[in-house]
Each structure stands twice: as C-alpha cells, then as structure tokens.
C-alpha cells in the first residue's frame, strides 16, 4: 500500500490505542468485581489489590441472581427461537418468493423498527394485567418478538437474497415442495447466517430492560432489571462491587458467544445494515 511507513505505523498504533480505550471500561468492571468494598473506594483507584470473590458470593445469593439468570436464559432463548423461525421464514418469503406487495411489507417492517418500545410497553402492560399475564416468561418472550422478528426478517432477507437462484430451481425440478426446498436446501446452506442472527437476537433479548421492567415483578424478573436496581439504589450509595459482579456475569457469556461467531456476526451485521 502507498503512504509512508511512519504514517502506516501511526495508523496501526492509533487503531490499537482506540481499541484499548474502548475495552478499558469492561476491563475496569471485571477488575472492580474482584475488589472488596474497601479496595473499590480508594484514591488513587487501586490497580493492584488482593482479589476476592466477596461481592460474587455476597451479592449473588442476596439478590437471587441465579434465579434471575435462569429467567433471562429462558426468555432470551425462547424469544430467540420464536423469532428466528418466524423471522427467517418471512425473510425468505420476502426475498425469494414473488409476492404482490412484498415491497410494501418490507417498508412497513422497516418502519416498525422505529417504534419506540415504550409505545408498546404501556398497552402491553394494560392488556397483560387484564389477562393476568404479568410476570410470566411467555409474556416477555412475546414482547421481545416485537423487535426481534422485524430484525431477523430484515437480516435474513438480505442474506437469502444473496444466494444463487439455481438452488431452488434444481430442487423444484426434483419435485421438492417450496417448504421442502426451504428446509432441505436453503436452511442448511444458510446455517452460519442463521446461527449468527439467532445469537445476536438472543443477545438483544438478554440485555433488554424496558419490557422486563414493565412486565415482570417477582417471578420472571431478568438480570438487567437487577442491574438497574443496583445502579439506581441511591439510599445506600451505589454498591460498586455488586454492580460490577452482576455486570460481569451478564457480560461474560455474551462476549464469549459473540466472539465465537464474530466472523459471521461482523458479516451479518454489516450486510444487514447496508443492504437495503
């Protein structure tokens, strides 16, 4: 490539520096989660200290984090599954099957992604209350479908559109039904994209706060609600060790999963954003 060697080195160094800067808050959170409270509140802030699992053991049992974790897993996995199945099928229909009004449907879906969740949370709360569906996993799963299904439809539509047409034509000649073609031909070759989209949907559901705050109260409470509770606890001052411990537990699985599929994630997200 052109440009001076020094310029190139500066650019590489700049990139690494900025990356480190962006990662630092996560590092600091993990570090603080191993601090005893007396090490968390010091001047200057301590980089070296005797690590302890105090905040994990103390806080996790106290705030019923395992129970909330389980709720979050159930809700995130459930919402992810429902939306990948419904969303991928619909995305396939919009990209590969000639349908009258497909363009309109596509536009409506995109517009629906701009619906502020509060505009859905208010009526959902009222309806769920009437139907006695508050504080249930299924309610939260359905609520998450409002943003996950359009999201999956959008990503998978672009993904399917990039596949060669000959695939379906060959299958049609072999007498495969449309649904059979989808299941036996399209799904297997789209598996990487489907998995990446599924994982990203699970992550979005995993982190969701507003619906969880509104639609749960005791039994189906998720981890983000617990985090919000700790962060907002003004009376006793923020318990930083607890915040960081719960934060770390929330973030670690997501980081592992997303790094595992990072190649497809990067591809899928950038395609989904730019291919209209």
Partner 1 sequence: MTIGMKRPTRARLADTAGRWGFLTPAFLILAAVLAYPILYTIEISFSEIDIATFMPGEFVGWDNYETVLTDERFWYALRVTLIYLVFALPLQLLLGFVIAWLVNAEWRGRGVVRALFIIPMVVAPVVAGGIWKMMLDPLWGLTTYLLGLVGLPALDWFGDPVLAMGAIVLIDTWRWTPFVVLIATAGLLSLPRDVFEAAEIDGANWWTTLWRITIPLLVPVIAATFVVRWLGAVKMFDIALAATAGGPGRATNVINLFIYQEAFRGMKFAESAAMCVVVLVITTLLTGLFLRGSRVLEARFQ
Span 184-213, contacts to partner 1 by CB under 8 A:
203, 206-207, 209-210, 213
70-129 binders of partner 1 (CB under 8 A): 82, 85-87, 89-90, 92-94, 97-99, 105, 107, 110-127, 129
147-176 binders of partner 1 (CB under 8 A): 149-150, 153, 169, 172-173
Residue with Cβ nearer partner 1 (60 or 149):
149
Residue identified by tokens 């969303």 is: 87
Q: Which of 155, 220, 221, 230 binds partner 1 (CB under 8 A)?
A: 230
**Which H helix or E strand runs over 29?**
helix 5-33
Segment interacting with partner 1, rule: CB under 8 A, options 5-13, 49-57, 58-66, 189-197: 5-13
Q: Which residues contact 136 (CB under 8 A, 6 or more apart)?
A: 219, 220
Regarding 11 and contact with partner 1 (CB under 8 A), the answer is yes
Rounded to a whole number of angstroms, the minimum distance from the CB of residue 35 to partner 1 is 11
The mark string for 41-60 relative to partner 1 (x by CB under 8 A, - otherwise) is xxxxx---------------
Q: Which of 4, 179, 218, 235 binds partner 1 (CB under 8 A)?
A: 179
Residue with Cβ nearer partner 1 (62 or 132):
132
Residue with Cβ nearer partner 1 (138 or 191):
138
As a dihedral over the C-alpha atoms of residue 254, residue 260, residue 262, residue 267, rounded to 10 degrees, the angle is -110
Nearest to 83 by CA among 142, 21, 171, 22: 142
The tokens describing 17, both together, are 């520096």
The tokens describing 262, both together, are 């990072």
**Helix 65-96 × helix 191-207 angle, to 10°:** 140
Rounded to a whole number of angstroms, the minimum distance from the CB of residue 50 to partner 1 is 19
- Report DSSP state, residue 47: S
Segment interacting with partner 1, rule: CB under 8 A, options 54-62, 63-71, 189-197, 221-229: 221-229
Alpha carbons 242 and 218: distance in angstroms, whole number: 20
Residue 268: φ, ψ to 5°:
-60, -45
Chain centroid offset of residue 2 CA = 39
Segment interacting with partner 1, rule: CB under 8 A, options 54-62, 63-71, 189-197, 230-238: 230-238
């Amino acid at each position: 490539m052109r440009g001076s060697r020094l310029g190139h080195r500066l650019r590489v160094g700049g990139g690494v520096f900025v990356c480190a800067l962006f990662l630092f808050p996560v590092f600091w959170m993990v570090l603080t989660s191993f601090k005893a409270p007396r090490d968390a509140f010091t001047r200057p802030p301590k980089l070296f200290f005797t690590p302890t699992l105090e905040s994990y053991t103390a806080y996790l049992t106290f705030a019923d984090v395992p129970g909330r974790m389980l709720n979050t897993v159930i809700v995130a996995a459930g919402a992810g599954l429902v939306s990948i199945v419904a969303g991928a099928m619909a995305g396939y229909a919009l990209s590969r099957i000639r349908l009258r009004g497909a363009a309109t449907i596509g536009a409506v879906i995109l517009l629906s992604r701009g619906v502020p969740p509060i505009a859905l949370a208010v009526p959902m709360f009222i309806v769920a209350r009437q139907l006695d569906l508050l504080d249930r996993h299924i309610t939260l799963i359905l609520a998450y479908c409002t943003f996950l299904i359009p999201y999956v439809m959008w990503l998978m539509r672009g993904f399917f559109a990039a596949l060669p047409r000959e695939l379906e034509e060959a299958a049609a000649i072999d007498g495969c039904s449309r649904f059979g073609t989808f299941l036996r031909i399209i799904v297997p070759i789209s598996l990487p994209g489907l998995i990446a989209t599924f994982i990203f949907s699970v992550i979005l559901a995993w982190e969701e706060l507003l619906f969880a705050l509104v639609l749960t109260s005791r039994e189906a409470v998720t981890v983000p609600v617990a985090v919000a509770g700790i962060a907002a606890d003004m009376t006793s001052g923020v318990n930083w060790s607890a915040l960081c411990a719960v934060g770390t537990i929330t973030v670690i699985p997501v980081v592992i999963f997303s790094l595992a599929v990072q190649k497809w994630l990067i591809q899928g997200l950038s395609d989904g954003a730019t291919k209209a």
